Amino acid sequence: MPSVKVLEEKKAQVAVLKEKFDGAVAGVVVDYKGITVADDTKLRKELREAGVEYSVAKNTLIRLAIEGTALAAMDDVLNGTTAVATSKEDYVAAAKILSKFAEKNDNFKIKAGFLDGELISLEKIESLAKLPSKEQLLATVCMAFQAPMASFARVIQAIVDKNGEGAPAEEAPAEEAAPAAEEAAE
């Protein structure tokens, strides 16, 4: 029979996992068996830089953390070695980084994923991984807004350039008046 101290530690671990799942907009569950320490360190660094929390957890503790939620359906993939990557803000980062890593490492497998507390298929995880990053999407939107303004500016500049082939419209009468004044003075 486990001691009271051990039970309290496990309850705390379950509470932390539950908080991670509840606070995440997206997450990916992976089987990390067979990757080297160096590869794991690189992966963790990349995930951390993208704002993704990555942690190894016991399957039993994950089951307890997702019990009674929509994520309880992922119970059937909770076997073997399991790590969880969750993101509080970015829907794409975890899927993109872990899918890229899984392509390069045969032993590393994606088990499941979720968005906004709902389990998603492996195909949707792959689709998320192919989406551009948040910064790329924002740049695309900015370019879409900027394009009409830039076109308008080019049209205005073309009109100015066309009228500017001779003298500007306001100066033309003054130039015509100057030769007339010179002729009158002679």
For the chain, the structural domain boundaries read 4-131, 136-185
Residues 6 or more apart from 27 whose CB is under 8 A from it? 20, 21, 84, 85, 86, 87, 94, 113, 114
C-alpha–C-alpha distance, residues 174 and 179, integer Å: 9
Whether pLDDT at 181 is above 50? no
Q: Is the model's pLDDT at 182 over the cut of 70? A: no
- Model pLDDT for residues 54-102, shown as the tens digit of each residue: 999 899 999 999 888 888 888 888 888 899 999 998 888 899 999 999 9
**Which of these ranges, 42-46, 132-136, 173-177, has the smallest mean pLDDT?**
173-177
**Encoded tokens for 14:** 């379950």
Q: Could you give the CA distance from residue 52 to residue 22 in angstroms, rounded to a whole number?
A: 14
The tens digit of pLDDT for each residue in 99-158 reads 999 998 888 999 999 988 888 888 888 888 887 767 777 888 888 887 787 777 888 888
* pTM value surpassing 0.85: no
Please report where in the chains the tokens 């190894």 appear, as a residue.
56
- Give the pLDDT score at 166: 47
> So what's the architecture of 4-131 in CATH?
2-Layer Sandwich (3.30)
pLDDT attached to residue 1: 63
Q: Give the separation between CA 5 and CA 45, rounded to whole angstroms.
A: 32
- Please determine, for residue 174, whether its predicted confidence score (pLDDT) is greater than 60: no
Contact between 14 and 64 (Cβ < 8 Å): yes
In this prediction, residue 172 carries a pLDDT of 47
